[in-house]
Amino acid sequence: MASRKHGVSYKTLLIWRDRFLKGGEAALKGKGPDAQVKALEQENKQLKEALAEMALRVEVLKNSAASASKL
């Protein structure tokens, strides 16, 4: 009845239901969106640290080049 009301086939409704239930199971097992968010946050942190290190290296190289050109 709900599928007819919203113009969706019954099979599509069952597929959506199954996906919803699998997503809930994954979230309860720690493999859902929260785990993905944590993994992405960790990767983001590592990339920020790498970027900061590279920026520092660039600054050191610029200062070295400026000092060398004064000689």
Two tokens at 5? 């009301």
pLDDT value of position 10: 87
Is residue 13 within 8 A of residue 3, CB to CB? The reply is yes
Is the Cβ–Cβ distance between 41 and 33 less than 8 Å? Answer: no
pLDDT in tens, 21-47: 888 777 677 666 677 788 899 999 999
47 or 16: whose pLDDT is higher?
47
pTM value > 0.75: no
